[in-house]
Structure 1
Amino acid sequence: MTDIIERLRTLPPQTNLDTILISCVEMGASRIHLQTDSSLKIRVHGRNYAAPGQRLRWTNTEVSQALAKMYKSSTGPSRLSQAMAIDTSYVIWPDRAKRRYGFRLNAVACTIGSNDGIGIILRPLPEKPIPLEEQYVEPKLAEALDGESGGYLICGVTGSGKTTLMGGVTRQRLEDPDCHCDIVEGAAPLELFYDLIEQNNASIQQTEIPRQLANFPDFIRAAVREEPTDINIGECRDTETMAATIQAIISGHRTMTSVHTNDPAATIRRVVSLCPASDRDNLAIAFVDNLKLIVNQRLLRSTDGRRTAIRSFLPFNRKIREALLDAPQTRWPNMVRGFVEEYGQTFEQSIKDVHAQGRISDKIAGRAMKELD
């Protein structure tokens, strides 16, 4: 803690934005907060730190200039003033022979006291997607992820590592010389890049939404015409995207996407609710009939001061799919909860395993167990 505060104390002035951001990444920041009339704040392995005193206290002009630089347009601040949010990416690559620094950028207009201001959140992204073995992916889950068709849902709340897990899966498929895959991926924005990954007998084409295509349904419609083996969809958050995603799944493509949910039972409920009401029954049945995996992930503070994942997941076999299809949709969430215990892995099991491996402390394990109640 003292080391981080001291390093915050020695950061350069606001005019050196890129140097500040790179320094925050080197400190291990997972979240960087710039806000009008506030000091720089960062989050490192689940703990918050602020630049001491008046150090790096940003004026509205300085925040506006920072946003214009990262948005690559002077229209950024005016966009916020029109009650529109900015959700994009920002990349720093000062030396092509050295590391590239990527960030997900979210900016909104906000209120500070009685005044209007700007709030910017930057979430640093890894230069390369993290391999699955470094994410402690369970052997049973790794086996379930190894399929060539159907739907794969990677779920969790914001900041739970969904994108990281999806990136690891994609990296593994690209690096596997026996996996002759052609992946098309759409995300809003793109957070992970694969140009530094060796693509042995595979390819990937990435499209940013809405900068390069207006929305996910447009991306999916274009993708299915490009003869891909895999379609990766950054997130299903509305009825149009869910309907298009299910069409991609049933057309024979391996389709991977994310949904904001807490556990597999909530995921199946959320998917059904996102299907358009006019065709909900047919789409929900088609989805379940082609579903291969639901995995939900959460992050806990680990014994090394960082964070580690716990997961609840359910690989879908023919028996599970037929049982669901023979039952009313209202029963699906409870049935999935039972199937997770019988065929998959519960959060409780994951906590016990991670604790036994020494990756989380007794205190963290106990607290996580209580939160499951």
Structure 2
Amino acid sequence: MSENIEYLLNFAIENGASDVHIKTNRESILRIKKKLTKTNITIDEKELNDFINVYVENLQKKVEFKQNRRNSLDAALSFNGRRFRLHMYRSNNGLNATLRLLSEDIPELVKLNLPPDIKRLTKAEKGLVLVCGATGSGKTTTIASIINEINKTRAKIIITIEDPIEYVYKEEMSVIEQREVGVDTESFTQEGIDAMREDTDVLVVGELRDLDTIKNAITLAETGHLVFGTLHSKSVIDTIDRLIDVFPPEQQQQIRNQLSSVLFSIIHQQMVGTEKGVVVIAEMLMMNSVLANQLKSTETKSNAIKDYMRTKKDIGCQHITDNILWHIENRRLELTDVKFILDSDDYRLLEMRLNY
């Protein structure tokens, strides 16, 4: 591999970068504490191709990408004692790559500063749990921490279906099988079918990208498994809408009925850059029979769900304003840090609660 890429990745590690952006024949960029930082390092296409050859182990993905049979390449790799998630793609400027630095170890759940009641999810027996947010909001890390807590405290058979495998678990009380799409299994859907025949207790099915993966996750939860997945969404309410809207109109009532019986929890999280660093803010929905009946309705009532999350703290719900207030009280955030994240009503509510 070229000295330029070696230097760039080492520089990223030493300076606590979260992401490395490489555009061929252009200045490479690091993201450090949510801010973009230019470097003086330029990588050419040959260097990037050499990088694939040395560090990407999935031969099938490499061959298909080089032969233009796939538009992008996703893989996890190790360099200088650290793990990275690689996304390589082509554009009108040539070959490009984005690398995300992964935590060296799976963080303890309590250290993520998520709503404290998230620990309830580690005790669940069945149902669908969704961790949602934008790209880079820490969804994969949250699920890994939940799974590792189950691994430490319960004797379960856990199967993860990943593309690529990012965190590597060390078995403790549980038995864990990690399978990579394209290496150990042909698809998320096929592995989900196989998992039902393998006496599995807990399944991590990765990102719910389309109708088939959503339907598969719901089916797995219906058969008595505890299923974890991720989804790109703007909020808890948006998550519910997206799950339903992906289906054709004639199937949406059926999906509402299925979700009402299997949905266990939705966590939505986002990262906020502050002068002190990065803070994850989150809201958490825990289901009960009242909300399950409302889900069956033909319309998701956003204000009713907001009120539900504010008032049902006893079962583990937390509205985003309550979570932000918790961070402010613990001196991790200032109110001004979230001014452009909250809508005007929620921001005014926080101002009143803080006597601003």
TM-score (norm 1): 0.83
Determine the structure 2 residue equivalent to 1:62: 47
Flag structure 2 segments of 5+ consecutive residues without an equivalent: 348-356
Contact kept? 1:152, 1:294, Cα under 8 Å: yes
Determine the structure 1 residue equivalent to 2:88: 107
Structure 2 residue 224 is matched with structure 1 residue 252: yes
Q: CA deviation at 1:16?
A: 6.0
Structure 2 residue 134 is matched with structure 1 residue 163: no
Contact kept? 1:265, 1:333, Cα under 8 Å: yes
Q: CA deviation at 1:241?
A: 0.9
Counting only pairs closer than 5 Å after superposition, residues 216-227 of structure 1 correspond to structure 2 as: 216-227=188-199
Q: Which amino acid aligns with 1:185?
A: T
* Higher alpha-carbon deviation: 142-151 or 23-32: 142-151
Q: Secondary structure at the match of 1:352?
A: helix
Structure 2 residue 56 is matched with structure 1 residue 71: yes
* Higher alpha-carbon deviation: 207-216 or 330-339: 330-339
Q: CA deviation at 1:234?
A: 0.9
Rounded Cα–Cα distance in structure 1 between residues aligned with 2:70 and 2:199? 39
Contact kept? 2:122, 2:147, Cα under 8 Å: no
- Decide which of 337, 355, 365 is 2:306's aligned counterpart: 337
CA deviations on 1:112-160 (whole Å, 9 max, x unpaired) are: 3xxxx11100111112211111101222232355311111111111111
TM-align CA RMSD:
2.4
> Structure 1 residues 218, 76: closer, same or farther in 2, change over 3 A?
closer
- Decide which of 144, 168, 192 is 2:167's aligned counterpart: 192
Determine the structure 2 residue equivalent to 1:126: 103
TM-score (norm 2): 0.87
Contact kept? 1:31, 1:43, Cα under 8 Å: yes
Q: CA deviation at 1:334?
A: 5.1
> Structure 1 residues 222, 76: closer, same or farther in 2, change over 3 A?
closer
Rounded Cα–Cα distance in structure 1 between residues aligned with 2:100 and 2:194? 29
CA deviations on 1:170-193 (whole Å, 9 max, x unpaired) are: 1111111xx111110101111111
Q: CA deviation at 1:215?
A: 1.4
Structure 2 residue 339 is matched with structure 1 residue 351: no
CA deviations on 1:316-345 (whole Å, 9 max, x unpaired) are: 1122213333xx232355543332233222
Determine the structure 2 residue equivalent to 1:97: none
CA deviations on 1:204-238 (whole Å, 9 max, x unpaired) are: 10111133212111111011111111011111111
Q: Which amino acid aligns with 1:34?
A: I
Q: Secondary structure at the match of 2:135?
A: coil
Structure 2 residue 278 is matched with structure 1 residue 307: yes
Q: Secondary structure at the match of 1:65?
A: helix
Q: CA deviation at 1:38?
A: 1.3
- Decide which of 341, 350, 354 is 1:368's aligned counterpart: 341
Q: CA deviation at 1:365?
A: 3.3
Q: Which amino acid aligns with 2:339?
A: G
Q: Secondary structure at the match of 1:67?
A: helix
Determine the structure 2 residue equivalent to 1:202: 174
Contact kept? 2:114, 2:281, Cα under 8 Å: no
Q: Secondary structure at the match of 1:88?
A: strand
Percent of pairs with identical residues = 20
Q: Secondary structure at the match of 1:91?
A: strand
Rounded Cα–Cα distance in structure 2 between residues aligned with 1:171 and 1:28? 24
Rounded Cα–Cα distance in structure 2 between residues aligned with 1:235 and 1:24? 27
* Higher alpha-carbon deviation: 220-229 or 38-47: 38-47
Rounded Cα–Cα distance in structure 1 between residues aligned with 2:182 and 2:257? 30
Determine the structure 2 residue equivalent to 1:293: 265
Q: Which amino acid aligns with 1:307?
A: V
Rounded Cα–Cα distance in structure 1 between residues aligned with 2:189 and 2:335? 45
Rounded Cα–Cα distance in structure 1 between residues aligned with 2:311 and 2:238? 17
Determine the structure 1 residue equivalent to 2:15: 27
Determine the structure 2 residue equivalent to 1:40: 28
Rounded Cα–Cα distance in structure 2 between residues aligned with 1:128 and 1:22? 18
Flag structure 1 segments of 5+ consecutive residues without an equivalent: 1-12, 95-99
Report how many residues are paired.
Answer: 339
